[in-house]
Amino acid sequence: MVDKKNIFLFGYGNFGRQLYKNLFLAGHNIKVLTATAESIVNAQEDKVDLIQINIKRNDDILSLNIDQENDMLYCAMSKTANNLFLVLTLRALFPYANIIAISNSLENTRKLKYAGANSVIDLYEATSRRVINILTKPAVTRAIDEIIYKQNNLKMAEVIIPPTSFLVGMYVKDIAFKSMGVVLVAIIDKESEHELVFTDQRLSQQLEAGETLVVVSKIDDLKIFKDLVHSETHPFVSH
Protein backbone atom coordinates (compact mmCIF):
# COMPACT_ATOMS: atom_id res chain seq x y z
CA MET A 1 0.00 0.00 0.00
CA VAL A 2 2.44 2.65 1.16
CA ASP A 3 5.56 3.03 -0.92
CA LYS A 4 8.47 1.98 1.23
CA LYS A 5 10.86 4.83 1.67
CA ASN A 6 14.37 5.17 2.97
CA ILE A 7 14.27 7.38 6.01
CA PHE A 8 17.19 8.89 7.90
CA LEU A 9 16.18 9.67 11.45
CA PHE A 10 18.51 12.03 13.30
CA GLY A 11 18.17 11.87 17.07
CA TYR A 12 16.82 9.14 19.30
CA GLY A 13 15.56 11.02 22.32
CA ASN A 14 11.91 11.10 23.33
CA PHE A 15 10.73 12.37 19.94
CA GLY A 16 13.08 10.16 17.98
CA ARG A 17 11.90 7.07 19.76
CA GLN A 18 8.24 7.71 19.01
CA LEU A 19 9.06 8.63 15.45
CA TYR A 20 10.95 5.41 14.96
CA LYS A 21 8.11 3.37 16.39
CA ASN A 22 5.51 4.89 14.09
CA LEU A 23 7.66 4.91 11.00
CA PHE A 24 8.62 1.31 11.64
CA LEU A 25 4.96 0.32 12.00
CA ALA A 26 4.23 2.03 8.68
CA GLY A 27 6.84 -0.25 7.11
CA HIS A 28 9.60 2.15 6.07
CA ASN A 29 13.34 1.45 6.02
CA ILE A 30 14.84 3.55 8.78
CA LYS A 31 18.42 4.43 9.60
CA VAL A 32 18.87 5.99 13.02
CA LEU A 33 21.70 8.46 13.53
CA THR A 34 22.61 10.19 16.72
CA ALA A 35 25.21 12.22 18.50
CA THR A 36 24.31 12.01 22.17
CA ALA A 37 24.94 9.38 24.80
CA GLU A 38 21.35 9.43 26.06
CA SER A 39 20.11 8.35 22.65
CA ILE A 40 22.53 5.45 22.58
CA VAL A 41 21.10 4.10 25.83
CA ASN A 42 17.57 4.48 24.45
CA ALA A 43 18.51 2.65 21.28
CA GLN A 44 20.14 -0.19 23.18
CA GLU A 45 17.00 -0.59 25.30
CA ASP A 46 14.84 -0.79 22.17
CA LYS A 47 17.38 -2.93 20.28
CA VAL A 48 17.61 -0.45 17.45
CA ASP A 49 20.75 -0.27 15.32
CA LEU A 50 22.20 3.16 15.42
CA ILE A 51 25.04 5.02 13.74
CA GLN A 52 26.95 7.59 15.73
CA ILE A 53 27.82 10.78 13.90
CA ASN A 54 29.16 14.23 14.63
CA ILE A 55 26.76 16.71 13.07
CA LYS A 56 29.51 19.32 12.85
CA ARG A 57 31.51 17.19 10.43
CA ASN A 58 30.28 17.17 6.84
CA ASP A 59 32.23 13.99 6.09
CA ASP A 60 30.20 12.04 8.64
CA ILE A 61 26.98 13.07 6.96
CA LEU A 62 28.21 12.65 3.39
CA SER A 63 29.36 9.12 4.18
CA LEU A 64 25.71 8.15 4.82
CA ASN A 65 25.07 7.99 1.05
CA ILE A 66 21.86 10.01 1.17
CA ASP A 67 19.89 10.02 -2.08
CA GLN A 68 18.44 13.50 -1.94
CA GLU A 69 15.85 12.92 -4.65
CA ASN A 70 14.04 10.08 -2.88
CA ASP A 71 15.08 9.75 0.76
CA MET A 72 13.43 11.58 3.61
CA LEU A 73 15.41 13.23 6.39
CA TYR A 74 13.79 13.56 9.82
CA CYS A 75 15.45 15.91 12.29
CA ALA A 76 14.33 15.04 15.81
CA MET A 77 17.24 15.97 18.05
CA SER A 78 16.23 16.72 21.63
CA LYS A 79 18.06 20.05 21.78
CA THR A 80 16.57 22.77 19.61
CA ALA A 81 19.98 24.30 18.89
CA ASN A 82 21.34 20.98 17.61
CA ASN A 83 18.23 20.38 15.56
CA LEU A 84 18.49 23.81 13.97
CA PHE A 85 22.14 23.33 13.17
CA LEU A 86 21.40 19.91 11.71
CA VAL A 87 18.69 21.26 9.42
CA LEU A 88 21.06 23.98 8.25
CA THR A 89 23.86 21.47 7.55
CA LEU A 90 21.60 19.06 5.69
CA ARG A 91 20.12 21.81 3.56
CA ALA A 92 23.57 23.10 2.68
CA LEU A 93 24.73 19.62 1.67
CA PHE A 94 21.51 18.45 -0.02
CA PRO A 95 19.62 21.34 -1.62
CA TYR A 96 16.84 19.09 -2.98
CA ALA A 97 16.34 16.78 -0.02
CA ASN A 98 13.01 16.50 1.77
CA ILE A 99 13.75 17.60 5.33
CA ILE A 100 11.19 17.30 8.10
CA ALA A 101 11.91 18.79 11.52
CA ILE A 102 10.25 18.54 14.91
CA SER A 103 9.73 21.82 16.75
CA ASN A 104 8.42 22.65 20.19
CA SER A 105 7.15 26.18 19.64
CA LEU A 106 5.97 28.61 17.00
CA GLU A 107 9.19 30.51 17.55
CA ASN A 108 11.36 27.52 16.67
CA THR A 109 9.11 26.53 13.79
CA ARG A 110 9.92 29.85 12.15
CA LYS A 111 13.66 29.34 12.65
CA LEU A 112 13.61 25.76 11.40
CA LYS A 113 11.70 26.80 8.28
CA TYR A 114 14.20 29.58 7.68
CA ALA A 115 17.07 27.12 8.11
CA GLY A 116 15.58 25.09 5.29
CA ALA A 117 13.15 22.48 6.61
CA ASN A 118 10.47 21.55 4.04
CA SER A 119 8.00 20.73 6.72
CA VAL A 120 7.95 21.34 10.45
CA ILE A 121 5.83 19.39 12.88
CA ASP A 122 5.13 21.51 15.93
CA LEU A 123 4.91 19.17 18.86
CA TYR A 124 2.94 21.38 21.21
CA GLU A 125 0.83 23.04 18.56
CA ALA A 126 -0.36 19.62 17.42
CA THR A 127 -0.93 18.45 20.99
CA SER A 128 -2.81 21.55 22.03
CA ARG A 129 -4.97 21.32 18.92
CA ARG A 130 -5.76 17.76 19.90
CA VAL A 131 -6.55 18.63 23.52
CA ILE A 132 -8.93 21.35 22.35
CA ASN A 133 -10.51 19.17 19.69
CA ILE A 134 -11.18 16.46 22.23
CA LEU A 135 -13.12 19.06 24.22
CA THR A 136 -14.93 20.78 21.40
CA LYS A 137 -15.13 18.29 18.54
CA PRO A 138 -14.87 14.77 19.94
CA ALA A 139 -16.35 13.14 16.85
CA VAL A 140 -13.97 14.96 14.52
CA THR A 141 -10.99 13.90 16.62
CA ARG A 142 -12.04 10.29 16.56
CA ALA A 143 -12.80 10.39 12.85
CA ILE A 144 -9.29 11.67 12.16
CA ASP A 145 -7.84 8.98 14.40
CA GLU A 146 -9.76 6.35 12.49
CA ILE A 147 -8.71 7.70 9.13
CA ILE A 148 -5.07 8.52 9.53
CA TYR A 149 -3.58 7.32 12.78
CA LYS A 150 -5.09 3.96 13.54
CA GLN A 151 -3.79 0.91 11.73
CA ASN A 152 -7.10 -0.07 10.23
CA ASN A 153 -8.90 -0.40 6.97
CA LEU A 154 -9.34 3.35 6.36
CA LYS A 155 -6.77 5.49 4.65
CA MET A 156 -6.14 8.93 3.36
CA ALA A 157 -4.25 9.01 0.08
CA GLU A 158 -3.13 11.22 -2.76
CA VAL A 159 -3.65 10.22 -6.37
CA ILE A 160 -2.05 12.10 -9.25
CA ILE A 161 -4.10 12.25 -12.44
CA PRO A 162 -1.98 10.96 -15.32
CA PRO A 163 -2.36 12.70 -18.71
CA THR A 164 -3.96 9.62 -20.21
CA SER A 165 -6.60 9.22 -17.49
CA PHE A 166 -10.26 9.23 -18.43
CA LEU A 167 -10.74 11.82 -15.65
CA VAL A 168 -8.99 14.56 -17.60
CA GLY A 169 -11.53 17.06 -18.81
CA MET A 170 -14.35 15.72 -16.64
CA TYR A 171 -16.39 17.73 -14.15
CA VAL A 172 -16.07 16.73 -10.51
CA LYS A 173 -19.85 16.71 -10.04
CA ASP A 174 -20.20 14.17 -12.81
CA ILE A 175 -17.94 11.61 -11.19
CA ALA A 176 -19.64 9.21 -8.80
CA PHE A 177 -16.88 9.06 -6.19
CA LYS A 178 -19.34 7.96 -3.56
CA SER A 179 -20.38 4.81 -5.35
CA MET A 180 -16.72 3.92 -5.66
CA GLY A 181 -16.38 4.11 -1.89
CA VAL A 182 -14.16 7.16 -2.11
CA VAL A 183 -14.60 10.59 -0.46
CA LEU A 184 -12.82 13.34 -2.35
CA VAL A 185 -11.47 15.91 0.11
CA ALA A 186 -9.31 18.20 -2.00
CA ILE A 187 -7.81 18.80 -5.40
CA ILE A 188 -4.36 20.29 -5.60
CA ASP A 189 -3.34 22.25 -8.63
CA LYS A 190 0.01 21.51 -10.18
CA GLU A 191 0.98 25.12 -10.73
CA SER A 192 -0.19 26.61 -7.47
CA GLU A 193 1.73 23.88 -5.71
CA HIS A 194 0.82 24.54 -2.12
CA GLU A 195 -2.50 26.16 -2.61
CA LEU A 196 -5.24 23.84 -1.55
CA VAL A 197 -8.36 23.88 -3.62
CA PHE A 198 -11.21 22.17 -1.91
CA THR A 199 -13.81 20.18 -3.68
CA ASP A 200 -16.90 22.17 -2.86
CA GLN A 201 -15.53 25.06 -4.89
CA ARG A 202 -14.48 22.90 -7.72
CA LEU A 203 -17.69 21.00 -8.38
CA SER A 204 -18.17 22.74 -11.67
CA GLN A 205 -14.57 22.80 -12.88
CA GLN A 206 -12.81 20.40 -15.17
CA LEU A 207 -10.04 18.16 -13.89
CA GLU A 208 -6.64 18.49 -15.49
CA ALA A 209 -3.73 16.13 -15.88
CA GLY A 210 -1.11 16.47 -13.15
CA GLU A 211 -3.57 17.54 -10.48
CA THR A 212 -3.52 15.62 -7.24
CA LEU A 213 -6.71 14.22 -5.77
CA VAL A 214 -6.70 13.86 -2.00
CA VAL A 215 -9.13 11.11 -1.07
CA VAL A 216 -10.23 9.06 1.93
CA SER A 217 -11.22 5.48 1.31
CA LYS A 218 -11.07 1.90 2.45
CA ILE A 219 -7.83 0.24 1.38
CA ASP A 220 -9.47 -2.22 -1.05
CA ASP A 221 -11.55 0.48 -2.67
CA LEU A 222 -8.48 2.67 -2.91
CA LYS A 223 -6.61 0.09 -4.97
CA ILE A 224 -9.52 -0.16 -7.39
CA PHE A 225 -9.78 3.61 -7.53
CA LYS A 226 -6.08 4.04 -8.27
CA ASP A 227 -6.32 1.55 -11.11
CA LEU A 228 -9.38 3.34 -12.34
CA VAL A 229 -7.70 6.72 -12.42
CA HIS A 230 -4.99 5.23 -14.57
CA SER A 231 -7.42 3.65 -16.99
CA GLU A 232 -8.41 5.44 -20.15
CA THR A 233 -12.03 4.34 -20.28
CA HIS A 234 -14.66 5.54 -17.85
CA PRO A 235 -16.67 2.72 -16.39
CA PHE A 236 -18.28 4.49 -13.42
CA VAL A 237 -19.59 7.73 -14.70
CA SER A 238 -22.89 8.86 -13.29
CA HIS A 239 -25.40 10.49 -15.58
Binding test (CB under 8 A) with other proteins, winner from 79, 110, 142, 234: 142
* Interaction of residue 224 with other proteins, rule CB under 8 A: no
Helix (H) or strand (E) holding 201: helix 199-202
CA distances from 58 to 94, 115, 198 (A): 11, 17, 43
Binding mask 87-126 for other proteins (x = CB under 8 A): -----------x-x-x-xx-------------x-x-xxxx
Q: Which of 235, 227, 195 is nearest to 211 (CA)?
A: 195
* Interaction of residue 131 with other proteins, rule CB under 8 A: yes
Q: Which is nearer to other proteins, 55 or 202 (CB)?
A: 202
* Interaction of residue 139 with other proteins, rule CB under 8 A: yes
Cα–Cα distance between 54 and 152 in angstroms, integer?
39
For residue 23, which amino acid is it?
L
Q: How far is the CB of 204 from other proteins (least distance, A)?
A: 11
* Interaction of residue 33 with other proteins, rule CB under 8 A: no
Size of the site for other proteins (CB under 8 A): 76
Span 54-73, contacts to other proteins by CB under 8 A: 72
* Interaction of residue 29 with other proteins, rule CB under 8 A: no
> Strand 182-188 and strand 196-198: pairing?
antiparallel
CA distances from 226 to 28, 182, 189, 214, 236 (A): 21, 11, 18, 12, 13
